[in-house]
Amino acid sequence: MPNSLFSQIFTRQMLICVFTGFSSGLPLFVLLQMLPVWLTDKQLSVELIGAVTGVMLPYGLKFLWAPLLDRYFPSFLGRRRSWLLISQVILLILLYIISLFDPRSQLTVVANIALLIAFFSATQDIVLDAYRREILSDHELGLGNTIHINAYRIAGLIPGGISLYLATIYPWETVFLWTALCMLAGIFMTLFLAKEPKIDTPQHNQPFYQTFWIPLQEFFQRKGVAQGLGFLLFLFLYKFGDSFATTLQTKFIYDIGFGKEDIALVVKSTSLWASILSGLAGGVIMLKLGINRALWLFGFVQMVTIGGFIWLAKFGHFDSISSTELWRLGFVIAAEYIGVGLGTAAFVAFMARETNPLYTATQLALFTSLSALPSKGLGMLSGYVVGAVGYYDYFWLCLFLALPGMICLYWVAPWNEKKSA
């Protein structure tokens, strides 16, 4: 184990994690933030924009083709780097090409290109997640994944900030080209910084269907059926309460009297830097405590920060917004995203640690898809719950929904388990 904290942070592996996070976040935030503004500028209706931005489905289904990336690969750069270069070059091209079509008359073409961007972005994520797991030791997973997540969030400042500002000066085609060229950072990493991990590759003489079955079989053989099912249940439950609470966060802020300018001034800026700084702190804490103990500590912080929404909901509707109300909102949002930053850092590191290097892409894609179900799937029920009981009781429910995941820690990540070196 490295002798000093400095020597553990400033390494080649951690530098690579900066590039993996940036390369992963850029295409996603183009779809989430830049594409809707472009379509709005082209005078498309909100219904059509909603339909086009519904192309995010590949991110939730990436486990379906992840086994193919584990088993089959071009040999020119190795199993991980070959797929990385292919997906990154295609993304660079697609991110520019989409701007060459007029969404008013060629909306189907634009939607299909956006779908391809989502598919190759999800493919890149599969490989980046697997690659990061293979170059980081168990001891480095916490900090490495924290750096990746924060670089991922910072990447959103380009399509969601700089590019939108440039669109007020230059034509959209020029803005999309500049944004697409930012993918060169990921290509630089793949060609010059990254080294192919020395990991045995899966056997190719197995029947094709076993490409999908064997990684799942290996997981349950290694963990045991009961412990394996408990682990998968934990993935679903650990961030359930927190994800459920943040599903209607913006709507809640509107409904209690805050306006768009308040969200721009307080929420967006506060949430970004609170999650980044807490995530970095979480990575350093994990170096000292280990992943298991960090899950306990950060899970408790997540629960406490849900209480901030309960406190804010107790005030009801604000008839006027003064500096006092803005400070209250800023405090609650900062606390919530500190919980998000800490909890996510430990949770992602834990999932990565539980994979087998032979099937990293497949197993990690399955784990991350399952952990996203509360926000991507059950989150659609949140509006009905609020309509039935109101925000105050809703956030109390979210707090109680966080308890089962904490209870699961007793079995899946015991506090006193010896941390990996």
**What is the pTM assigned to this prediction?**
0.76
Per DSSP, the three-state class of 303 is: helix
Q: Do 122 and 62 touch, CB atoms closer than 8 A?
A: yes
Helix (H) or strand (E) holding 389: helix 382-401
Residues 6+ away with beta carbon under 8 Å from 257: 317, 318, 319, 320, 321, 325
Please tell me the CATH superfamily of domain 5-201, with its number: MFS general substrate transporter like domains (1.20.1250.20)
Cα 139 from chain centre: 21
Domain range annotation of the chain: 5-201, 218-412
Residues 6+ away with beta carbon under 8 Å from 295: 238, 346, 347, 350, 409, 413
Listing DSSP states for 252-296 in one string gives HHHHTT--HHHIIIIIIHHHHHHHHHHHHHHHHHHHHH-HHHHHH
Fold of 218-412: Growth Hormone; Chain: A; (1.20.1250)
367-372 CB contacts, 8 Å cutoff, 24+ apart: 367/235, 368/62, 368/129, 369/60, 369/61, 369/62, 369/63, 370/232, 370/235, 370/236, 371/235, 371/236, 371/238, 371/239, 371/347, 372/60
Per-residue pLDDT 10s for the chain (421 aa) are 455 656 667 788 999 999 999 999 999 989 887 888 888 888 887 667 766 766 778 887 888 898 888 888 888 888 899 999 999 999 999 999 999 999 989 999 999 999 999 999 999 999 999 999 889 888 888 788 888 988 988 898 888 778 988 998 999 999 999 999 999 999 999 999 988 887 666 555 566 667 778 888 889 999 889 888 989 889 888 888 888 887 777 778 878 888 767 766 776 677 778 877 887 788 888 888 888 999 999 999 989 999 999 999 999 888 888 888 888 888 888 888 888 778 888 888 899 889 888 888 888 888 887 777 666 556 667 778 888 888 999 999 999 999 999 999 998 889 886 544 3
Neighbours of 184 (CB within 10 A): 13
Residue carrying structure tokens 């289904």: 61
Q: Do 307 and 338 touch, CB atoms closer than 8 A?
A: no
Per DSSP, the three-state class of 421 is: coil
